[in-house]
Amino acid sequence: MTGGVLVSFGLYLLHAAGVVTGGTAGLALLVGYLTGLPYPLLFVLANVPFFVLAIRRKGWDFTLRTASSVVFVAIASVVYALPGVLGTLTVEPVFASVVGNLLIGVGVVIIFRHRSSLGGFNIAALVLQERTGFRAGYTLMILDGLVVVASVLAVDPLLVLVSALGVVILNGSLVLNHRPDRYLGV
């Protein structure tokens, strides 16, 4: 829950500033900007295809934990977005990108260390890390970078650059803090 709260608050900051991030969370934000569809629905739907990979490669325990994390972040994001909780914030984009992505990065490390993920790209990155040793943070930086590049379709180019900074911060924190030989919450 701690990781989910941090991720949700980070996403709230990014959304308040109109900044995007990577992964299925960033993809859901981007599609939401383009279509107006609700973020929680898009976030859950974007994760569904990756659950097959999780079941096959990581097992049911991991998959159920991941599903719980995905649903928690989707629900918590709605709660944070409600005006009655935090109100409508005006957040400077660089601040939102730096702080929001740091919060997301710390939240993801907590979630990873407890044998869970936020689905989507996280599952693929963890499976690749286990099979090849290529660090999950690097895989996610590549995939997240692609999402940020695609965000040029819906976001001002300056915000795309700010978002790219956020992707480097988020995944840099994962590269530095998530290693398979460290604590795994067992």
Does residue 22 fall inside a structural domain?
yes
Q: What is the pLDDT of residue 186?
A: 52
Does residue 184 fall inside a structural domain?
no
Binned at pLDDT 50, 70 and 90, residue 164 comes out as: very high
Does residue 50 fall inside a structural domain?
yes
**Domains of the chain: total:** 1
CA distance 66 to 115: 8
CA distance 76 to 120: 18
CA distance 150 to 20: 10
- Mean pLDDT value across the chain: 85
Q: How far is CA 26 from CA 19, 23, 29, 86, 118, in A?
A: 9, 5, 5, 21, 12
Is residue 127 within a helix (H) or strand (E), and if so which, with residue range?
helix 120-132
Mean pLDDT for the stretch of residues 127-149: 90
Does residue 186 fall inside a structural domain?
no
| Structure tokens given for 66 | 């991941």
Q: Are 50 and 60 in contact (CB under 8 A)?
A: no
The three-point CA angle 63-167-27 to 5° equals 55
Mean pLDDT for the stretch of residues 61-66: 94
Q: What is the pLDDT of residue 176?
A: 82
Does residue 52 fall inside a structural domain?
yes
Q: What is the pLDDT of residue 83?
A: 43
Q: What is the pLDDT of residue 63?
A: 94
Compare 182 and 50 and report the one with higher pLDDT: 50
134 CA to centre of own chain:
19
Does residue 183 fall inside a structural domain?
no
Tokens 């996280």 identify what position?
Answer: 122
CA distance 46 to 5: 20
What residues make up the domain containing 148?
Answer: 2-177
Tens digits of residue pLDDT in 73-129: 877 776 555 445 777 778 899 999 999 999 999 999 999 888 899 888 989 998 998
Does residue 182 fall inside a structural domain?
no
| Structure tokens given for 106 | 């710390």
Q: What is the pLDDT of residue 82?
A: 46
90 CA to centre of own chain:
21
Contacts of 113 (CB under 8 A, 6+ apart): 178, 182, 183, 184, 185
CA distance 163 to 151: 9
